[in-house]
């Protein structure tokens, strides 16, 4: 644990005084990706929780939008059988807590929710899991269609323009790793094709609404036959099929990607219909997500070993995928 992590841990300990614990729990650093996660062991009740501290850099890392995220997470836990973390409220009933972190001038925001058991899905056993994930995705989307959010609810809108021009601060793909002249050329052509393909795509309520927006393997927990969905940090408004693209993050070059897509669709169709234009929408949204990840990996070069390890190869492979997409659709 670094000095900053240890100091943050101490501040989380003080933060827990705002919650209704009989004895202050034990706090330990758990992990970090975009945000920092601390494990909370309440030995008195024999329960565990997590505290997530938002990085603060994304455009929607403010109190109102994080509170809205918790609204949907709480509604999903209340209204459906989907396994999601249970939001923990402070003594005053609030879900979002302001927290000052070492070395930061601006406040960060923290939320607490239940710890869920499980492991990330193994990459060699994805076919069955993707069918289950398709069903869960359709259940989330069905809930989003019938749920009436409170008037103050606000979350980002995942339009192609918001993603491709980095309006939400994920990272500009043009500043990704190894974006040389050739990469810039092919990815700009793919970008133009994405805009054309999605310009008239259906944004009616059957195809477009509230989505998780980041269903990659790291945000799934497998515990026996149960798949839990975690980290709703990026939830917002977009095409429902964008959740399939999110699920395929970092898997786009697998030889069995067609099988994974087919499994997800089979699972989805147990609950809801797939749009008639899915054959065009799915590869287009996968390409959009892939370009989005180039920007995210570029930004995270300074912070994450994972990003440094795969960044350059990811851009090279993305250009190859872009060429294949262009050959198919342009």
Token representation of residue 141: 């989307």
Distance CA 155, CA 237 (A): 7
Per the domain annotation, does 119 fall within a domain? no
Q: C-alpha distances in angstroms, 293 versus 246, 266, 288?
A: 10, 26, 9
Question: Are residues 233 and 265 located together in one domain of the fold?
Answer: yes
Q: What are the two backbone dihedrals, phi and then psi, of residue 204, each rounded to the nearest 5 degrees? A: -70, 165
| Alpha-helix runs per DSSP H in the chain | 3-15, 63-79, 126-146, 160-164, 181-199, 242-247, 257-268, 278-299, 305-329
Question: Are residues 100 and 145 located together in one domain of the fold?
Answer: no
pLDDT at 124: 86
pLDDT at 121: 94
Tell me the sheet residues that pair with 97: 110
Distance CA 322, CA 328 (A): 10
Q: What are the two backbone dihedrals, phi and then psi, of residue 202, each rounded to the nearest 5 degrees? A: -65, 125
Question: Are residues 163 and 95 located together in one domain of the fold?
Answer: no
Question: Are residues 50 and 98 located together in one domain of the fold?
Answer: yes
Question: Are residues 84 and 133 located together in one domain of the fold?
Answer: no
pLDDT at 3: 82
Token representation of residue 247: 């699920």
- Cβ atoms of 88 and 113 closer than 8 Å: yes
CATH number at residue 39: 3.30.200.20
* DSSP summary character for residue 87: E
Per residue of the chain (330 residues), give pLDDT as tens. 688 788 999 999 999 999 999 999 999 999 988 999 999 999 999 999 999 999 999 999 999 999 999 999 999 999 999 999 999 999 999 999 999 988 888 899 999 999 999 999 998 889 889 999 999 999 999 999 999 999 999 999 999 999 999 999 999 999 999 999 999 999 999 999 999 999 999 999 999 999 999 999 999 999 998 999 999 999 999 999 999 999 999 999 999 999 999 999 999 999 999 988 999 999 999 999 999 999 999 999 998 999 999 999 999 999 999 999 999 998
pLDDT at 11: 94
Domain count, the chain: 2
Per the domain annotation, does 120 fall within a domain? no
pLDDT at 53: 97
CATH number at residue 312: 3.90.1200.10
Question: Are residues 52 and 190 located together in one domain of the fold?
Answer: no
Question: Are residues 87 and 205 located together in one domain of the fold?
Answer: no
Per the domain annotation, does 86 fall within a domain? yes
Question: Are residues 55 and 146 located together in one domain of the fold?
Answer: no
Question: Are residues 178 and 64 located together in one domain of the fold?
Answer: no
pLDDT at 292: 98
Token representation of residue 120: 């990330």
Q: How far is CA 325 from the centre of its chain?
A: 24
- Cβ atoms of 149 and 71 closer than 8 Å: yes
The parent domain of residue 109 ranges over 3-114
- Three-class SS state of 221: strand
């Amino acid at each position: 644990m670094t000095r900053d992590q240890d100091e943050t841990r101490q501040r989380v300990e003080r933060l827990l005084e705002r919650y209704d614990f009989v004895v202050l729990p034990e706090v330990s650093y758990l992990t970090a990706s975009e945000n920092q996660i601390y494990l909370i062991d309440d030995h008195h009740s024999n329960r565990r929780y997590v505290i997530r501290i938002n990085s603060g850099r994304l455009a929607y890392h403010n109190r109102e939008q994080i509170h809205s995220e918790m609204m949907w997470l709480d509604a999903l836990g209340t209204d459906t059988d989907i396994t999601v973390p249970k939001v923990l409220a402070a003594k005053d009933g609030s879900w979002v807590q302001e927290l000052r972190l070492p070395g930061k001038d601006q406040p960060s925001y923290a939320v607490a929710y239940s710890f869920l058991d499980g492991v990330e899905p193994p990459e060699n056993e994805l076919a069955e899991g993707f069918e289950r994930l398709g069903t869960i995705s359709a259940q989330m989307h069905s809930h989003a269609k019938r749920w009436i959010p409170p008037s103050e609810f606000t979350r980002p809108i995942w339009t192609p323009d918001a993603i491709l021009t980095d309006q939400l601060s994920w990272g500009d793909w043009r500043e990704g790793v190894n974006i040389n002249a050739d990469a810039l050329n092919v990815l700009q052509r793919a970008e133009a094709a994405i805009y054309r393909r999605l310009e008239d795509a259906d944004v009616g309520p059957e195809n477009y609404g509230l989505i998780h927006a980041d269903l990659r393997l790291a945000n799934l927990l497998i515990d026996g036959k149960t798949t839990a969905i975690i980290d709703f940090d990026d939830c917002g408004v977009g095409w429902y099929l964008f959740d399939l693209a999110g699920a395929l993050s970092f898997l786009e070059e697998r030889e069995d990607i067609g099988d994974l897509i087919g499994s997800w669709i089979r699972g989805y169709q147990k609950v809801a219909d797939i749009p008639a234009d899915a054959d065009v929408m799915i590869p287009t949204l996968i390409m959009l997500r892939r370009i989005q990840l180039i920007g995210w990996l570029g930004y995270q070069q300074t912070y994450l070993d994972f990003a440094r390890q795969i960044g350059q190869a990811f851009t090279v492979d993305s250009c190859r995928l872009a060429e294949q997409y262009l050959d198919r659709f342009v």
